[in-house]
Chains A and B, each alone.
Chain A
Amino acid sequence: MKDNYLLEMKQVDKRFPGVHALDHVDFRVRAGEIHGLMGENGAGKSTLMKVLTGLYRMDEGEIRLAKKAVSFDRPLDSQKAGISTIYQEINLISYLSIAENIYLGREIMNRTGIDWKAINQGASEILEEMGVKADVTQPLCTYGTAVQQMVAIARVIFAQAKLVVMDEPTSSLDEKEVAILFRQMHKLKEKGISIIFISHRLDEVFEICDTVTVLKDGKLVSEDAIKNLTKLELVSRMIGRDATDVLKRKKGQFEGEQTEILFEVQQIDDGSKLHGVSLGIRRGEILGLAGLLGSGRTELAKVIFGDNPSYTGKLMIDGKAVHWKAPRDAITHKLAYCSEDRKAEGVFPHMSIRENLTMAILPGIARGGVVDSKQQKKIVNEYINRLSIKTSDPEQLIRNLSGGNQQKVLLSRWLCMEPGFIILDEPTRGIDIGAKSEIEMLIQDISQRGISVLLISSELEELVRNCHRVVVIRDGLNIGELEGDALSEKGIMQTIAQAVTQAEEDVG
């Protein structure tokens, strides 16, 4: 492939209040190539794509499409220029037919109005060429996600896109469906269409992409041809340590062998991301969960906490099997879960710090349904101090706090419950270094007091620094455990990067 660049994004810079989302990023895609875009949360991938498609305006930089400088004010403009996007969540209209979804906005008309015959015919032809069999007159929702993805691609083909952005297209597909998707992608490539493939699945990126670009913390890390890269190199580019980040913390002593296993998870399969994962955690142990985004860590947490009651496998506390119907049951058993998505799953925006902080323990501090405000105030003040939450008044609305302080309030919500087992999902995300170390001290502290901690984090150094043991999750399976001397960033990365065949053999 010659250096015939269809897309060139040069020195793109974008800032949001408090966040430097894109720091002079260069990104280029050749015509007819499949270009992978990788990076962890906050790396800037979605921001870069939103700038490309016109959802965001960049502060600096330029974009060139087929050598011509372009600037998009809104999504419609980029679509007209030949850029189409296929999202993780199907952004089509489920109730409308397949054919209509393909042609929406570009309906074929004849003298009497919309020409349904032509539309249905055209849609059938497109699907046939793709090798997909489906009744184009049926509503989209009667078909599974795989077919819906295909329809999204069909729409893109019909729109004669030159560049297709695929954002996590395989996250809800099984192996066979992924193969079909890849076939389609090859066909697009044959037509000279370029594809930007955003994914966290290493194996897929290696299988389908020609080139891969890695972003980290808003900066461009590397751009390489896949054939020149090993999996380990790729992983380390994505989550390797930032040399300037130094936080030395002493881990608490942990007599692993003497303590009994508190909570056990066996062969959990939730029908989508988890494929039979097992692990156990001891009393007072700090167990880390490492893995790339999309590996199923949060899904596992949701099963453990009772948020997802449909799974096969077993959950056990102190050797006894348990089954939750709702988080409420887990909470009664002294489990706690601090979610990674505080906006959607944590914060009650117009309620005060006090109300947010004590929401989960209300039954405990209330008598006859009436909240004991003295006790409540005591707890609130205690945790404001303990976590150094910056606020002038506990009555302040939580939405007026900074992201980091909001996170602290949410953490307090669970800590004040004095749980026996707490799951922390990305607890230090969006928190400054000083607060980070406070929280890590807190984690050590509660472990010393016998509380088990399941720490999910995308920062390897954080896991290595704080955990007694780390379990590595990949594609919904437990593919390795590390502790003691073996517990290092390199060790984790090597485990993640293991060849698929190796992992399959091990797990059977």
Chain B
Amino acid sequence: MNRNARISTLLRKHGVLIALIMLIIAAGFSFPQFLTYGNLTNILRQSSMIGLISLGMTFVLLTGGIDLSVGSLAALASVIAATLSSYGNIGLMVLVPLAACGVLGLMNGIIIAKMKIAPFITTLGMMMAARGIALVMTGGISVSVDADIVNTFGTIAQSYLFKIPTPVWLFFLVLVVGLYFTNKTRAGRHVYAVGGNEEASRMMGLRPDRVKIVVYTVNGLLAGLAGIILSSRLSAGQPVSCDGWEMNAIAAAAIGGTQLSGGRGGLSGTLVGVLIISVISNMINLQGTLNSWWQSIITGLMLLLVVIMQSRMEMRPKSRRKLTTAERF
């Protein structure tokens, strides 16, 4: 490949990572408190919940689908956890919300794969339904975690392990498992195959339906986990929380290089995307004078930039290699 092609491939592959590094350097110079332990752990902790949802969303996007219900599922999970706190059983508070979200995710998967209703509409409906259930369960108000168990439950989100917040460990755990899944397991590779070319993958003997069902179920579980962490952090379940999380997740995945058409991208890219959004949010906070709405404007701008860059790279005709003379014996 000639030099120009090399540079553009490099950019394409690592452009976002480079952007993140430059952002961090810029932040480090502009704000002395940026590179402090307290601030960095703050960033990581903020990222962990959105991060979990973004990781799940990445799987869904890789199959060429979309899941609008994750925010509502997370809120539902947080509400269920808080509501069950009166039983004083932490296991219940964790397992039931997870199970509920898993089942709802499974329903998404089945409706999409078997009933063949478009993912957009299916998850739109689920989004409304889950939010509705959360509101009904709580009568629209916040539910506090029962005083008896609030401290134990609170350790999930508020404790530290080797000086790093537990939610961050959870996020990284899921990330590592996810990376293993996408790189070292058959099921993970089949996700890429189905997203890349569903028909071809079927003809190659794979089962797209199963892959999709698994992916949406896992996404539901991860949303549930995020919701549990949230309620642990707030010591309450708020039915109106997690609003717009799905869109941020999509943005993070897109910025990280996962194409909405499916088959391309990955978790490591999403990690970078999540970090970029969090760092920017942090920078805005540290700046002090900029208000919160700049967060959304800048995220939108980033998305715009990434999307335009990706489209330009698509438009350039791919250099198709013909067999060279050496290859033709």
A-to-B contact residues, CB < 8 Å: 75-76, 79, 85, 91-96, 100, 104-105, 107, 109, 112-114, 131-134, 141-147, 176-177, 180
Q: Tell yes or no: B321 within 8 A of A by CB.
A: yes
Give complex CA distance A99, B324 in Å: 20
* A93-B201 contact in complex given A104-B189, A143-B320, C-beta closer than 8 Å: yes
Contact in complex: B321, A147 (CB < 8 Å): yes
Query: Closest residue of chain A to B320, judged by CB?
Result: A144
Contact in complex: B197, A94 (CB < 8 Å): yes
Closest chain-A Cβ to B201's Cβ sits at a distance in Å of 7
Give complex CA distance A142, B320 in Å: 6
Contact in complex: A91, B328 (CB < 8 Å): no
Give complex CA distance A118, B326 in Å: 26
Residues of A within 8 A of B184 (CB): 112-114
Contact in complex: B322, A146 (CB < 8 Å): yes
Closest chain-A Cβ to B43's Cβ sits at a distance in Å of 32
Stretch from B97-105, B203-211, B216-224 that touches the partner: B203-211
Contact in complex: A100, B323 (CB < 8 Å): no
Give complex CA distance A85, B263 in Å: 23
Residues of A within 8 A of B204 (CB): 91-93, 104-105
Give complex CA distance A104, B193 in Å: 8
Query: Closest residue of chain B to A85, judged by CB?
Result: B203
Contact in complex: A142, B205 (CB < 8 Å): no
Give complex CA distance A96, B189 in Å: 9
* A93-B327 contact in complex given A75-B203, A114-B186, C-beta closer than 8 Å: no
3 cross-chain pairs, A with B, having the tightest CB-CB distances, nearest first: A113-B184, A133-B327, A93-B196
Closest chain-A Cβ to B137's Cβ sits at a distance in Å of 41
Contact in complex: A144, B263 (CB < 8 Å): no
Contact in complex: A131, B329 (CB < 8 Å): yes
Give complex CA distance A230, B282 in Å: 79
Query: Closest residue of chain A to B197, judged by CB?
Result: A93
Residues of A within 8 A of B322 (CB): 144, 146, 177
Give complex CA distance A177, B200 in Å: 24
Closest chain-B Cβ to A120's Cβ sits at a distance in Å of 13
Query: Closest residue of chain B to A143, judged by CB?
Result: B321
Closest chain-A Cβ to B120's Cβ sits at a distance in Å of 20
Give complex CA distance A176, B325 in Å: 10
Q: Which of A75, A104, A132, A141 contacts B323 (CB 8 A)?
A: A132
Contact with A along B288-329 (1 / 0, CB 8 A): 000000000000000000000000000000111111101111
Contact in complex: B206, A104 (CB < 8 Å): yes
Q: Which of B185, B205, B328 contacts A105 (CB 8 A)?
A: B205
Closest chain-B Cβ to A87's Cβ sits at a distance in Å of 8
Q: List 20 A-B contacts (CB under 8 A).
A: A75-B205, A76-B205, A91-B197, A92-B200, A93-B192, A100-B189, A105-B205, A107-B189, A109-B186, A113-B183, A113-B184, A113-B185, A114-B185, A114-B189, A133-B326, A144-B320, A144-B322, A146-B322, A147-B321, A176-B328
Residues of A within 8 A of B323 (CB): 132-133, 144, 146-147, 176-177, 180
* A96-B196 contact in complex given A114-B184, A142-B321, C-beta closer than 8 Å: yes
* A132-B264 contact in complex given A75-B203, A91-B204, A144-B321, C-beta closer than 8 Å: no
* A180-B197 contact in complex given A142-B318, A144-B322, C-beta closer than 8 Å: no
Q: Tell yes or no: B199 within 8 A of A by CB.
A: yes
Q: Which of A85, A107, A142, A146 contacts B186 (CB 8 A)?
A: A107
Q: Tell yes or no: B180 within 8 A of A by CB.
A: yes
* A95-B189 contact in complex given A134-B327, A146-B323, C-beta closer than 8 Å: no
Closest chain-B Cβ to A134's Cβ sits at a distance in Å of 7
Give complex CA distance A109, B321 in Å: 31
Give complex CA distance A438, B83 in Å: 76
Closest chain-A Cβ to B262's Cβ sits at a distance in Å of 9
Contact with A along B169-188 (1 / 0, CB 8 A): 00000000000100111100
Contact in complex: B328, A180 (CB < 8 Å): yes
Residues of B within 8 A of A75 (CB): 202-203, 205
Q: A94-B196, A95-B264 given; name 18 further pairs at CB < 8 Å.
A: A75-B202, A75-B205, A91-B200, A92-B204, A93-B201, A93-B204, A93-B263, A95-B196, A96-B189, A96-B192, A96-B193, A107-B186, A112-B184, A113-B184, A114-B189, A144-B323, A146-B322, A176-B328
Residues of A within 8 A of B193 (CB): 93, 96, 104
Closest chain-A Cβ to B327's Cβ sits at a distance in Å of 4
Query: Closest residue of chain A to B324, judged by CB?
Result: A133
Residues of B within 8 A of A105 (CB): 204-206
Residues of A within 8 A of B321 (CB): 142-144, 147
Residues of B within 8 A of A132 (CB): 323, 327
Residues of B within 8 A of A143 (CB): 320-321
Query: Closest residue of chain A to B325, judged by CB?
Result: A176
Give complex CA distance A147, B185 in Å: 27
Residues of B within 8 A of A91 (CB): 197, 199-200, 203-204
Give complex CA distance A75, B190 in Å: 18
Residues of A within 8 A of B328 (CB): 176, 180
Closest chain-B Cβ to A55's Cβ sits at a distance in Å of 9
Contact with A along B261-280 (1 / 0, CB 8 A): 00110000000000000000
Residues of B within 8 A of A79 (CB): 205
Residues of B within 8 A of A145 (CB): 320
Give complex CA distance A333, B321 in Å: 39
Contact in complex: A114, B200 (CB < 8 Å): no
Give complex CA distance A75, B206 in Å: 11
Query: Closest residue of chain A to B201, judged by CB?
Result: A93
Give complex CA distance A105, B203 in Å: 11
Give complex CA distance A134, B320 in Å: 13
Give complex CA distance A142, B189 in Å: 19
Most B Cβ at <10 Å: residue of A79, A92, A112, A131: A92
Query: Closest residue of chain A to B198, judged by CB?
Result: A93
Closest chain-B Cβ to A391's Cβ sits at a distance in Å of 31
Closest chain-A Cβ to B2's Cβ sits at a distance in Å of 14
Give complex CA distance A177, B192 in Å: 30
Query: Closest residue of chain A to B181, judged by CB?
Result: A113
Query: Closest residue of chain B to A79, judged by CB?
Result: B205
Residues of A within 8 A of B199 (CB): 91
Query: Closest residue of chain B to A53, judged by CB?
Result: B203
Give complex CA distance A12, B321 in Å: 42
Residues of B within 8 A of A142 (CB): 318-319, 321
Give complex CA distance A243, B112 in Å: 53
Residues of A within 8 A of B206 (CB): 104-105
Residues of B within 8 A of A146 (CB): 322-323
Most A Cβ at <10 Å: residue of B200, B323, B328: B323
Give complex CA distance A180, B328 in Å: 7
Closest chain-B Cβ to A318's Cβ sits at a distance in Å of 34
Residues of B within 8 A of A176 (CB): 323, 328
Residues of A within 8 A of B189 (CB): 96, 100, 104, 107, 114
Give complex CA distance A93, B196 in Å: 6
Query: Closest residue of chain B to A105, judged by CB?
Result: B205
B28-60 with Cβ < 8 A to chain A: none
Closest chain-A Cβ to B134's Cβ sits at a distance in Å of 38
Give complex CA distance A107, B187 in Å: 11
Give complex CA distance A80, B164 in Å: 51
